[in-house]
Each structure stands twice: as C-alpha cells, then as structure tokens.
A and B are shown apart, each in its own frame.
Chain A
Amino acid sequence: MTRLTRIGGPAGFVVLVAAVLLAPLVFSHYRTYQLAFVAVYLIALVGLNILTGYTGQISLGHGAFMGVGAYTTTILVVDHGWRDLWTIPVAGVVAGLIGLAFGLPATRFAGPYLALATFAIPLSFIGILKRFPHFTGGNIGKSLPQLHAELGVQANPSLWFYAVTWTVALVMFPLAYLVVRGRFGRSLRAVRDSEIASTANGVSTAAVKAAAFGVSAFFCGVAGALYAIGITYVNPDTFPIDLSILLLVGIVLGGAGSLGGMLFGALFVEFIRISWGPALLGVFSSVHHINKNAPGSGLVVYGVVLLLVLYAAPSGAAGLARRATGAATRFRRGKDASLSDPSLV
C-alpha cells in the first residue's frame, strides 16, 4: 500500500510539469541546455530504477545501453539520413532488445554475480565500437548535425533541445509509473524482496528479471538517443565505464525504488559530471593525496558521495523528503502521517 503511494502521484507530476515549463523563463540558454541533460539522465535513471530499485538487480553496465541508443541514432542520422527525432523510439527498441538478449542468460545469476556480469557490457561495448570502425567511426567517432529547431519551429537550439528532452521525459515518466504499478510491478517487487517466495507463488523470476532488464535498457536507449542529439558527437570515450557507475550512484542518491527521487538523482548526475566533480576531486586531493592522474580518479568523488548518502540518508533524497513531509504532517496534525503519506518527490 505505502509502496504504491511512494512511487509518486499525479499532484507531484503536475508540479514537475509546471517547473519544467517555468525553468526556461528563469534560466539562461546554457542552463536550459544543462537542464535538458537532466531530463536525459532522468529517463535513464527511471529506467535503471525499474531494474535496480524495483527488481533489486544491480547493473554496472547501463551506460552502455545509453551508448547503444546514441550510436543507433547517430548511424541512422549520419549514414542513413533519418530525421533525429524519429530515431529516438528506434534507439530505445534496439537497446531494449539487446538488453533483453543480455538479460535472458545473465539474470540466471543472482546478486553480486549479476553485477559482475553486467560489468562486461560497457567493456565489450567499447571493444565492439573500436572493432568495427567503418560502422561506428572507431575512435574518432561521428559528428551529428548541430542542434537546431525542427518541424517549422523557430527557437534557440538549446531551448528546442530542452523542449524535446522534457517532452520525452514527461512521456517516459508516467510510462515507468504504469510499469511499476500494476501486476508486473508487483512481480518485480516480489522478486526483489524474496526470489524464493516469489518462485513459490508462481512468479518466474528469470523471466521477470529479463523483462526488467529489457525495459530498463529501452529507457536507457531512449536517453542515449537524446544524449547523442544534444552532444552532437559520439565516440567510445563518450560512454566510459564511469557513466554506468554514475547512473547507479544517481539511483542510490535519488532513492532506489522511488520514481520521484530520480529527479534528484538526475540533477546530481548532470551537475557532478560537469560542474562539481572536478572541483570536489581537487578538494579531496588537497585534503588527502589522491593521484588525479590515475584512470577513473573521478570515481573517488562518486565513492565518497555514495558513502555519505548511505550513511546519512540510506533511502536517498526520496527517503529524506518522505521523512521531512512525514514530520511536517505529524507536526501539523499531531498524529502519525504514514497512512496518508502524500509524498511524491
């Protein structure tokens, strides 16, 4: 009961839509461009959350599914002359199918073994990109057309990109809500809470996990398509292993198993990657010597943030918000508010 109300509500969605509408009026074009990437990460996190938060399966490889989506879009646009917008669903389907294909055998693993198996995805993805340079552009990658408003709309490219990403995000968000809400969502959570109990109750855990893998990869593929459109360039370096780990950190920070919390996760992912991460790394290395030259030294920042979150707010931003609203309601009404928890953030 409470789990259902926790995943968000129509009121929260309306607030989100209003915020999305108002943001471009308040922020500069560059911030708008940056917020567009928040939408991109939101889509990816919401998708990964179906697998990690609701089904309890950790993936260290979903950045590669973003990569699959991004490359699908790029190759269709650059080599086959597609209009970029039309490639978005195709990118999602391609990534989803690959995710499903990977999920079918891989989900026979449980717990940490699955996580290790997923770690192979970004590793082999980068290898494949380099193995077929005529198809993927190899190391030097491929450039997409510059951002521009389409469909006869006259708008600044950043605003156009913002509108596109958030339109897609606001479609994908309720879609995720529908996925985790019904019968399928119940079996996801059953698998998470106890594989043995769910098997005993007639749920095929392998099938459920594989399906969750496919759905989450579909979301990441859509996000990747938008990512490529926004960055206007793909090469193997644009989908490093760090990205997959960062997505997982975003999930934990937002609050695994909460849809609304993913918004915080997405904001975190975008801003830590571009603005805060390098600065924080500088601070850390001045306090305690860190070899900034080492590959993946940026991961130190994610690691510290992850530990802090697990220590201070194990249920992420969503959990904090729940506690805050819960406390406020209790304070107002003078009684326990857990039964009428209105939270949705």
Chain B
Amino acid sequence: MRKTFLLIAAALAVSAVIVVTAGATSSATPGVTAKSILLEGTFPLSGPASGYAPIPAGMGAYFSYVNAHGGVNGRKIIWKYEDDGYNPANTVQITHKFVEQDHAFALVGGLGTEPQTAVRDYLNQQKVPQLFVSTGATTFDRDFAQYPWTLGWQPDYEAEGAIYGKYIVKNLASAKLGILYQNDDYGNDYLRGLKAGLTAEHLPQIIDAEPYDLSATTPPAVQVAKLKASGADTFIIFATPTPTIQAYVIATKLGWTPAHVITNSVSATDPFLTIAEKSGSTIVEGTISINYGLDPSNPIYNKTPGMKLYRTIMKKYDPKGNANDPLNLYGVSKAWNTVKVLQAAGKNLTRAGLMKAARNMNFSAKKKNANPFGLPGVNILTKGNYQYPISQVTLIRYQNHVFQPFGGLINGRGA
C-alpha cells in the first residue's frame, strides 16, 4: 500500500519537474568574448584509433603560435579537446558538454566518420559550426544543403579512390587488382571512387575485393591470403593504419610479392610504413599513394617557408611532439585554415559569419594567400554548390623510406 502511494508520488513529482522547466535563453554569440574565442573538438586519444592523437596537438601548437602573435582580431583562441575513444556514444555526450556547458563558439576538426555522423544532426539543430571534420567521408562535403553547419576539409575518399582508378587506367592497364577494404563507409567510399576512376571498361581488372571489419580482433590474414590466391599482381589497400600495417606484414609472410601496392593516404604516412618495414614487410618499397600537404619526412620540403614555419612552431609550442609525423602537420595545417576563416568572419564574430566564410574560401597561390603547409599549388576552395575544400593532390611513391611526389597536381574532383 505504502509502495503504491510512493509510486504515485514519484510519478506526480516527476511531472512537476517537467512543468517547472524553463526555456533556454540566448545572449551574445556563445564562446566569443572581447578577448577570446573558444574552439573545441573530440579526438580518439586512447584506444585503437589513438594513432590520430597528434592531430589536435598540432592544432594546439598553431593556435598557441597565433595567440602569441596577437590572436585573431585581438581575440585569443582557446583550444580544448577531449578523448572520445572513437565511441560515438562518448562523442555525443562530450559534444553536448561542449555546446551546453562550455558554450563553444565552434567545433573544429572532430575526428572519425561515425563519431562525427553521430553529432551532425545535433550540431545542425543547435546551429553550431561543425567545421573541418577530420574524415574524408564524402557526405560531409557533398550533403552541405542538408547540413549547412557541417563542412569537411581534406580530399574526400571517393575522389582519392578515383585518382587511383585513373592512374591504373593510364599506367597499369593490364594489372590484376586485388583490393583489401574496410567494410564500412570509409572503405566503400574508396572502392566506389576507384571503380568510377577505372571506368566500366577497366572494371574487370578487379579480380578480387576482400572486406574486413575494423572491430575484428584478428588481423586480416584470411583476406590477404585470398587476394594472393586470386592471382592479383597489384595490391590495393583501403584500410586504416593498423590493419594496413598488418596487411603489409601478412602479405610478406605469405610469400606474396605483388608488383605494385597502392595504399590510401590516411595510412600511407612515413611513420606507418616504417613500422610495416620494421615488422618484416618487404613489399613496402614502391607503395603508391597521394598527398596534399607538405611531408615533414621528406627533406626536399625542408627549404620551403611552410616547413620552416612548421618546425619553428612545433619546436616552440609542441616540443614533445614528433615533428616528423605528418599528422602533426595535418593539425597545424587545419588550424591555419581555421584561423583564416575566423579572420574572414570579421571582428563581429558570429557562428553564421564563420560558416559563410568557410563556404566561400579561396586560398591560392594566385591570390597570394595559399596555405603554407599545403603542397605548392594546392588551393583551398569552396563556392556555391562546390563544397570540397581540398581536392588537389599529387601522386607519391615510397622510395628509400621517403615518399617522393611524381607527376603534377591532380584534381580529384575534376573541376
């Protein structure tokens, strides 16, 4: 009896809470004061995807550098990032905190296709910029009409896949292609792009395509063995760093020596391939990929102003970071772009103003405002219906522990 009473009391009480609630009040632009701008982002700092942890550190180094030189329109950038462990449920809760508790002005560089997909609806509903997400999933660029507050940054995976397709048509027209790809949007974007680049005529060159799961607890050994058995002579890897390294090593252990290896840009960085070589893979040499930023592992860029500035910044503001890791440069480069759009948004900073600036970027050598950390000639361009900030890349080949660029710049979006 007493319990029934309590139950009813509880129900009534809870309904009372609902009645008491008040609507949210809004004042000036959140996260912006006369002296500061608050930017935040989620990144995997622990767990299997934590290889990306240098990115927010690199961004922080550049923001510190800008702050030391007067900030943006007199405002200092406050940069905070938290670990979501690549679990979208964590991303959602932390993002709620950024928006509702910290009142961040904008979220910048948030990493991961699924984690960023999980918060995209929320951020667009809240009208909070979800700027320069650290994923090349095509949807973050393509679906700008549906998600006006969201924008990607790097060349999208589909466009990158298409570049490999075109390269094969031109240079490896009789190669037999065996593909290892991650069984999700990431891998499928690449695969779709590759098929588009190959065109229907060369599609039969794909003699086997093997998917693997990122969450699988074992390396993709079965898949690589199948690819070897298929008779493929060109190994295409569309995977994230850890499985990529494993695939290289497994192929060698199985005695498979494909004539050509093509690896997507996310995993084809010097540190990752060095690990693959040190782990005993003999097929790393000659790996083909693409790049759009300066490569700190390659000494040919050491004389460029961008690389000099990058090393100065890393030395002073992130001395513990590995300056030779391209992920740091990726972070610095992205932070450069962030500062650029903040400047363009003007003194009277609003979230809408920031998005307007990001939707109308034109940073190029021609206008003498090109990204110093990008490859020479790579423009950052968004305009009207074209919302793919970076789409020019160069092909690179791994030779003697360094990626060397070859051929000129290619526009993955063909525009």
Contacts and interface: CB of A to CB of B under 8 A. Distances in A.
Interface in B183-197: 183-185
B118 A233 contact: yes
B47 interface: yes
A274 B93 contact: yes
A111 to B, nearest CB: 25
Interface in A138-156: 138-141, 143, 146, 149, 153-156
A30 B125 contact: no
Interface string A100-129: 000000000000000000000000001000
Nearest to B48: A295
B90 A274 contact: yes
B14 A163 contact: yes
B184 A140 contact: yes
A77 to B, nearest CB: 13
B21 A155 contact: yes
Interface stretch (B64-72, B78-86, B344-352): B78-86
A10 B3 contact: yes
Contact of A273 (B14, B46, B90, B118): B90
Nearest to B50: A293
Interface string B80-124: 001101111110111011001100000000000110011111100
Contacts of B85: 278, 298
Contacts of A186: none
Contacts of B82: 278
B18 A159 contact: yes
Interface in B1-49: 2-3, 6-7, 9-11, 13-18, 20-24, 45-48
Given A139-B183, A143-B117, A236-B215, A163 B18 contact: yes
B140 to A, nearest CB: 13
Given A13-B6, A154-B23, A171-B7, A237 B184 contact: no
A232 B90 contact: no
A25 B118 CA distance: 29
A167 interface: yes
A167 B11 contact: yes
Nearest to B185: A140
Contacts of B22: 156
A52 interface: no
Nearest to B98: A30
Contact of A174 (B3, B89, B92): B3
A216 interface: no
B13 A292 contact: no
B47 A30 contact: no
B51 interface: yes
A153 B87 CA distance: 32
Nearest to A146: B125
B213 interface: yes
Contacts, number: 166
Given A166-B14, A274-B93, A297-B47, A174 B7 contact: yes
A31 B46 contact: no
A327 B22 CA distance: 43
Contact of A170 (B14, B89, B185): B14
Contacts of B118: 141, 143, 231-233, 235, 238
Nearest to B46: A292
Interface in A53-89: none
Given A174-B7, A274-B93, A25 B45 contact: no
Given A233-B118, A237-B86, A126 B215 contact: yes
Contacts of A278: 45-46, 82-83, 85
B212 to A, nearest CB: 11
A238 B21 contact: no
Contacts of A14: 6, 9
A236 B88 CA distance: 9
B92 to A, nearest CB: 5
B88 A238 contact: yes
A22 to B, nearest CB: 9
A136 interface: no
Contacts of A159: 17-18, 21
Contacts of A156: 21-24
A296 B85 CA distance: 9
Given A21-B13, A130-B213, A139-B184, A296 B47 contact: yes
A315 interface: no
Nearest to B182: A139
B262 to A, nearest CB: 23
A33 to B, nearest CB: 6
Interface string B211-241: 0011101000000000000000000000000
Contacts of B184: 138-140
A138 B122 CA distance: 21
B100 A30 contact: yes
A292 B185 contact: no
B350 to A, nearest CB: 22
A226 to B, nearest CB: 13
A232 B87 contact: no
Interface string B301-318: 000000000000000000
A49 interface: no
Contacts of B21: 24, 154-156, 159-160
B117 A30 contact: no
Given A10-B3, A37-B93, A30 B114 contact: no
Given A170-B7, A232-B121, A237-B215, 11 more contacts: A10-B2, A14-B9, A20-B17, A28-B100, A139-B214, A146-B121, A156-B22, A167-B10, A231-B93, A292-B50, A293-B51
**10 nearest A-B residue pairs (beta carbon):** A139-B184, A30-B101, A233-B118, A278-B83, A155-B21, A30-B100, A238-B89, A170-B10, A159-B21, A167-B14
Interface of A: 10, 13-14, 17, 20-21, 24-25, 28-31, 33-34, 37, 126, 130, 138-141, 143, 146, 149, 153-156, 158-160, 162-163, 166-167, 170-171, 174, 177, 227, 231-233, 235-238, 240, 273-274, 278, 281, 292-298
21 contacts: A10-B6, A13-B6, A14-B9, A17-B9, A17-B10, A24-B17, A141-B88, A146-B125, A154-B21, A156-B21, A167-B11, A170-B14, A171-B10, A235-B118, A274-B93, A274-B94, A274-B97, A278-B46, A278-B83, A295-B48, A297-B47
Interface of B: 2-3, 6-7, 9-11, 13-18, 20-24, 45-48, 50-51, 82-83, 85-90, 92-94, 96-97, 100-101, 113-114, 117-122, 125, 183-185, 213-215, 217
